[in-house]
Amino acid sequence: MKQIGQGRTADIYEVDESSILKLYKKGIFHEAIDVEFSVSQFVYSIGINTPKPINLLWQDERRGIVFQRISGVSLLDAITRRPLRAKKYAQILATLHSQLHTCEARDLKRKQKEVLADNIKSAPFYRKKKRTRSSSIWMNYRMIISFVMVIFIQTTLCLASKIG
């Protein structure tokens, strides 16, 4: 398989012309990968324009998810090629993000507030005893930025199909 991308938690490989493999690096909790797969299935099933999750697998002692391959240019490439259109791409991203918030997700069996609270508590910078108002604001800011980046990355594939 040909590697076509990489990130902090996973490497991306071309499986064939219609699918890719997101192969997680060793050390990533299997439960987190399973949750990503089930959330991806749910999001796809309610009609949000995302790549279809196909299956979970093991390869070379690593857990992975096979997704539908979306052809196109990444948002980063589009902005790099045409920086004067950054506002247009931001509007597309904002529209897609807004559409996400119109979707009902009660069946997801996962409470976002609980997930965020757990992430904050398990973060290396969290110090319960020395927590001040400013550090609470900073932690909330970092969590919001992290969440926005996840949404940004997930919608990049959708944008790729629209601008490619």
User: Between the CA of residue 29 and those of 32, 123, 132, what are the distances in Å?
Assistant: 5, 15, 31
Q: Considering only CA atoms, which of 94, 93, 70 is closest in space to residue 164? A: 70
pTM here is: 0.64
> Which residues have C-beta within 8 Å of that of residue 87, sequence separation ≥ 6?
none
Q: pLDDT digits over 67-100, tens only?
A: 999 888 877 788 889 989 988 888 888 888 787 7
CATH number at residue 10: 3.30.200.20
Looking at per-residue pLDDT, the higher value among 74 and 136 belongs to: 74
Are residues 58 and 123 both part of a single domain?
no
> Which whole number is the average pLDDT over 97-120?
71
> Which residues have C-beta within 8 Å of that of residue 10, sequence separation ≥ 6?
22, 23, 24, 25, 28, 64
Q: Of the residues 15, 49, 68, which one is the last residue of a structural domain?
A: 68
Are residues 117 and 49 both part of a single domain?
no
Stated length of the chain: 164
Are residues 8 and 36 both part of a single domain?
yes
Q: Considering only CA atoms, which of 143, 154, 116, 152 is closest in space to residue 22? A: 154
Q: pLDDT digits over 31-63, tens only?
A: 889 989 988 998 898 888 889 999 999 998 999
Q: Which domain holds residue 15?
A: 2-68
Are residues 63 and 116 both part of a single domain?
no
- Token duo for residue 1: 């398989």
Amino acid letter for position 131: R
Are residues 79 and 147 both part of a single domain?
yes
Position 25 pLDDT exceeds 80? yes
Are residues 36 and 82 both part of a single domain?
no
Are residues 116 and 91 both part of a single domain?
yes
Position 157 pLDDT exceeds 50? no
Task: State how many domains the chain has.
Answer: 2
Are residues 8 and 23 both part of a single domain?
yes
